[in-house]
Amino acid sequence: MLTIGPWKTKNGRQLIAIPRQAHIDVSPTYGQKLGDAVKDASNLSGSARRDVEAMLKKIDEYDEDGSCKKAYQRAAAKILRMSNKDYDDWLVEIVEGVGK
């Protein structure tokens, strides 16, 4: 079963939680080789889009009762609207918040 929460980071960023096995089975970025990770690091928006689009295609396989699909779609829509600048800003906020 998928777990889609209203969870957000301290600064209000949207989070999507999926079962570990779904991440392993579906996510193109899970367990990728270093070269692919380096490439993805230069386009976080693109890598997030790949992951979200892949999960949207397979979500029914992990959402037995169908209760999480719409919530995932809503959360995913927010992720899909994020630009690389949004991800860069988010990472800066995280780094600046370490140790506070």
pLDDT in tens, 4-36: 555 566 666 666 777 788 889 999 999 999 999
Tokens describing residue 37: 């990770």
The string of pLDDT tens digits covering residues 32-48 is 999 999 999 999 999 99
CB half-sphere exposure, 80, CA atoms < 13 A? 14
Q: What is the pLDDT of residue 30?
A: 92
Instruction: Cite the DSSP H helix spans in 4-43.
Output: 20-26, 34-41
User: What confidence tier does 2 reach under pLDDT thresholds 50, 70, 90?
Assistant: very low
Would you say residue 54 has pLDDT above 80? Answer: yes
